[in-house]
């Protein structure tokens, strides 16, 4: 039998990048991952493709499995002689029942290791602008459960000592009991004017912070639902100066990315870095062309071409993937010049360690022709354009008019993606989405198809549309989507800039 191992891993407080390197390694090597409600599911993307993912979350009263069932499951899986990663929110030993799980593993002679995580009481105040200790304010910091049953005769919390004996107090799971907690603290000598912060979904793009004092916070935080943590103490005042996270330019904005899943991440990452909450709603999938023979023929006769012109990164990747599949390599491209429509396509080509000979300053087909004219005759030269099935005919037509020989072939096709989030239209109407972004005409067309042509008009006024360039904008407006955010430079960074400008101008 293989050696079994259970890793009890702290996934951190919400921001997936706050997991430890060791924790991430445990996700990567797991055969089974058993994870909780508070674990950011983005972390599961790092798992092996065939890893079994088991959700055992307990959200308020709704438990998928009771704790002893979770314990049993851990032991049972481990006894199969595999690597089990038990992923828990924050730190596994801070109010996470990690101690109980470890004891059960020990009783059953299952080997285990425990990987610490950043706990909510440390991370979420930080992301709300609150250092939990500071020399001028407090030298003590306590982590307390707020989950105690207030009707119990004997409290396991010594309220008299806690109230005045510790500077910064943090309460986990204390939202329901907030009236009881604040009452106990004031009753036992903590000033009613002590500042208090309640932070919900801390360290995520949905973070919400409410500030008050011991005697006002119950009223002010009445709309806050779990999961939230409560911080009591003078350090809360530092938020006025140290609130770095919620003041990022796109914080509080929800932005939809409609690109294909493969291409979404670079764009989504940039938006997230500015604080946006990103919903990936891929409208496109990239697939092999229906007929691959024309591409194969072109690759086999590659030396009959003077120029290889790429108008998208998908064109680049599809071309090279096929080139390699046919047993060729980049030496076969010797002597052939390459043109890229824009910087992203150029980067895509550079990945294959090839220099680009021509790249126009403006990233549309019109500009490709202008730039090619500057560097080559066109007349009498032959061009290979590995493109999408739905690419515009402008470029090949123009090159032909100028005397070039053009092979315009389908290197990949774009198909409509299966809708990921079936509730998107509802979310838009409810005001939960602020901006929908389009990075090509086909993202617009497919978005309209997925949402339903007849429903599009009802979204107007509830959301803003952002477009990467003039062709995409034209398609959107033809289909009844008013574009108010337009990239000045027709690239992803250009689109990000336009979004940044549009949000700062609105909020003054």
- Residues that bind ligand SAH in the complex, under the rule CB under 6 A: 13-14, 38, 88-91, 94-96, 119-120, 124, 172-173, 199-203, 226-229
Q: Would residue 329 show up in a list of annotated catalytic residues for this protein? A: no
Strand partners, 63: 58
CB of 170 to ligand SAH, least distance (A): 9
Q: Which is nearer to ligand SAH, 90 or 129 (CB)?
A: 90
Shortest distance, CB of residue 13 to ligand SAH, whole angstroms? 4
**Per the residue annotation, which of 173, 208, 317, 337 is the catalytic one?**
173
Beta carbon nearer to ligand SAH, 9 or 495:
9
Please, which residue, 104 or 199, has the CB nearer to ligand SAH?
199
Structure tokens at 32: 């089974």
In this complex, which beta carbon is closest to ligand SAH, that of residue 98 or of residue 360?
98
Q: Which of 143, 134, 196, 194 is nearest to 164 (CA)?
A: 194
Residue closer to ligand SAH, measured from CB, 123 or 339: 123
Q: Which of 15, 31, 36, 91 is catalytic?
A: 36
Cβ closest to ligand SAH, residue 30 vs residue 173: 173
CB of 233 to ligand SAH, least distance (A): 16
DSSP string, 296-339: HHHHHTGGG-SEEEE-SHHHHHHHHHHHHHTT--GGGGTT-EEE
> Are 344 and 418 contacting, i.e. CB atoms less than 8 angstroms apart?
no
Residue in the shown chain whose Cβ atom is closest to ligand SAH: 90
Find, among 87, 86, 64, 67, the residue nearest to 77 by Cα: 86
Q: Shortest Cβ distance from residue 304 to ligand SAH (Å)? A: 60
Three-state DSSP class for 407? strand
- In the complex, the smallest distance separating the C-beta of residue 389 from ligand SAH, rounded to whole angstroms, is 44
Contacts with 365 (C-beta within 8 Å, 6 or more apart), sequence order: 311, 341, 392, 394, 395, 398
Q: Could you confirm whether 427 is annotated as catalytic?
A: no
CB of 111 to ligand SAH, least distance (A): 22
| Segment holding 195, helix H or strand E | strand 195-200
Q: Is the peptide bond before 227 cis (omega within 30 degrees of 0)?
A: yes
- Spatial neighbors of 216 by CB under 8 A, at least 6 apart, are none
Whether the CB-CB separation of 74 and 105 falls below 8 Å is answered with yes
Whether 463 and 435 have beta carbons less than 8 Å apart is answered as: yes
337-340: long-range contacts (C-beta < 8 A, 24 or more apart)? 337/306, 337/307, 337/308, 337/376, 338/307, 338/308, 338/309, 338/310, 339/307, 339/308, 339/309, 339/310, 339/368, 339/371, 339/372, 340/310, 340/316
Asked whether 279 and 304 are in contact (CB, 8 A), the reply is no
In 79-216, which residue ranges form alpha helices assigned H by DSSP? 98-107, 120-127, 159-165, 178-187
Tell me the closest approach of the beta carbon of residue 224 to ligand SAH, in angstroms. Answer: 10
Residues in the chain: 508
Name the residue nearer to ligand SAH (CB basis): 90 or 386.
90
In whole angstroms, give the CA distance from residue 34 to residue 87.
6
CB atoms within 10 A of CB 153: 5
Neighbouring C-beta atoms of residue 112, cutoff 10 Å: 18
In this complex, which beta carbon is closest to ligand SAH, that of residue 44 or of residue 368?
Answer: 44
Q: Give, in order, the Cα–Cα distances in Å from 323 to each of 3, 187, 256, 301, 350.
A: 43, 76, 34, 11, 16
153 is an active site residue: no
Supply the DSSP symbol for 238: G
What phi and psi, each to the nearest 5 degrees, are found at residue 114? -120, 125
What's the closest the beta carbon of residue 252 comes to ligand SAH, in angstroms? 16
What's the token pair of residue 468?
Answer: 């990467």
What does R_g of the chain's alpha carbons equal in angstroms?
28
Name the residue nearer to ligand SAH (CB basis): 13 or 233.
Answer: 13
For residues 202 and 348, which CB has a smaller minimum distance to ligand SAH in the complex? 202
- State the nearest-atom distance from the C-beta of 128 to ligand SAH, in Å: 9
| Closest separation in Å from C-beta 44 to ligand SAH | 17
- Please list the active-site residues: 36, 58, 173
């Amino acid at each position: 039998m293989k050696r079994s191992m259970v890793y009890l891993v702290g996934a951190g407080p919400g921001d997936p990048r706050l997991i430890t390197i060791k924790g991430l390694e445990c996700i990567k090597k797991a055969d089974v991952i058993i994870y909780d409600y508070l674990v950011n599911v983005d972390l599961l993307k790092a798992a092996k493709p065939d890893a079994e993912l088991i959700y055992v979350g307990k959200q308020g009263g709704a438990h998928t499995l009771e704790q002893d069932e979770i314990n049993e499951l851990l032991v049972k899986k481990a006894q199969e002689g595999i690597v089990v990663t038990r992923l828990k929110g924050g730190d596994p030993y801070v109010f996470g029942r990690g101690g109980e799980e470890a004891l059960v593993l020990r009783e059953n002679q299952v080997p285990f290791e425990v990987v610490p995580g950043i706990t909510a009481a440390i991370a979420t105040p930080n992301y709300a602008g609150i250092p939990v200790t500071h020399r001028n304010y407090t030298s003590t910091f306590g982590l307390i459960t707020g989950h105690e049953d207030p009707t119990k005769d004997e409290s396991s919390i010594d309220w008299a000592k806690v109230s005045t004996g510790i500077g910064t107090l943090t309460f986990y799971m204390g939202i329901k009991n907030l009236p009881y907690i604040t009452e106990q603290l004031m009753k036992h000598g903590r000033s009613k004017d002590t500042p208090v912060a309640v932070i919900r979904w801390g360290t995520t793009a949905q973070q919400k912070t409410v500030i008050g004092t011991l005697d006002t916070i119950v009223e002010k935080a009445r709309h806050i639902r779990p999961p939230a943590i409560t911080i009591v103490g003078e350090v809360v005042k530092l938020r006025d100066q140290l609130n770095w996270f919620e003041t990022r330019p796109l914080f509080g904005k929800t932005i939809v990315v409609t690109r294909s899943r493969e291409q979404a991440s670079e764009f989504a990452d940039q938006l997230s870095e500015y604080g946006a909450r990103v919903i990936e709603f891929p409208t496109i999938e990239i697939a092999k062309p229906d007929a691959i023979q024309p591409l194969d023929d072109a690759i086999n006769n590659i030396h009959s071409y003077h120029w290889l012109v790429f108008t998208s990164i998908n064109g680049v990747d599809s071309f090279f993937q096929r080139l390699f599949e046919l047993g060729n390599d980049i030496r076969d491209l010797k002597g052939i010049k390459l043109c890229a429509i824009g910087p992203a396509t150029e980067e895509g080509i550079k990945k294959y360690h090839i220099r680009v000979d021509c790249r126009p300053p403006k990233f549309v087909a019109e500009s490709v022709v202008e730039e090619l004219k500057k560097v080559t005759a066109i007349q009498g030269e032959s061009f290979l354009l590995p493109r999408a099935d739905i690419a515009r005919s402008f470029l090949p037509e123009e090159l032909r008019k100028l005397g070039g020989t053009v092979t315009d072939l389908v290197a990949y096709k774009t198909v409509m993606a299966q809708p990921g989030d079936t509730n998107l239209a509802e979310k838009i109407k409810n005001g939960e989405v602020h901006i929908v972004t389009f990075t090509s005409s086909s993202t617009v067309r497919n978005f309209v198809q997925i949402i339903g042509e007849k429903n599009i008009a009802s979204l107007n006024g509830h959301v803003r549309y952002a477009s990467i360039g003039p062709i995409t904008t034209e398609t959107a407006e033809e289909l009844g989507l008013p574009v108010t955010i337009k990239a000045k430079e027709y690239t992803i960074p250009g689109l990000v800039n336009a979004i940044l400008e549009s949000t700062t101008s609105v909020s003054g």
